[in-house]
Amino acid sequence: MAQIMAGDIRKGVTFEYKSGVYTVTEFQHVKPGKGAAFVRCTLKNVVTGQVLSDETFNPTAKLETAQVETKKMTYS
């Protein structure tokens, strides 16, 4: 699988994290006046629906992207 830098995270990106597959629902690049920059995200587990709020990543951290296929379906 491909890897993505945490600094390249955008809304809708899906990746593997903490032995689960998560989609980014919100993100914010934070550059404090003192200290290193970081990325703050709200993540949603694709399988269980669990929400992880305020997860922080170093912008240079590498995350494993997940291959997700979406299909439009109709139920009758």
User: What are the domain boundaries of the chain?
Assistant: 3-63
Hey, what CATH topology would domain 3-63 get? Answer: SH3 type barrels. (2.30.30)
Q: Give residue 1's pLDDT.
A: 67
* pTM of structure: 0.82
Question: What single string gives the DSSP state of each residue in 38-71?
Answer: EEEEEEEETTT--EEEEEEE-TT-EEEE------
Q: What is the mean pLDDT of residues 3-16?
A: 93
Q: Return the DSSP state at 9.
A: -
Question: How far, in Å, CA of 23 to CA of 2, rounded?
Answer: 16
CB 15 within 8 A of CB 4: yes
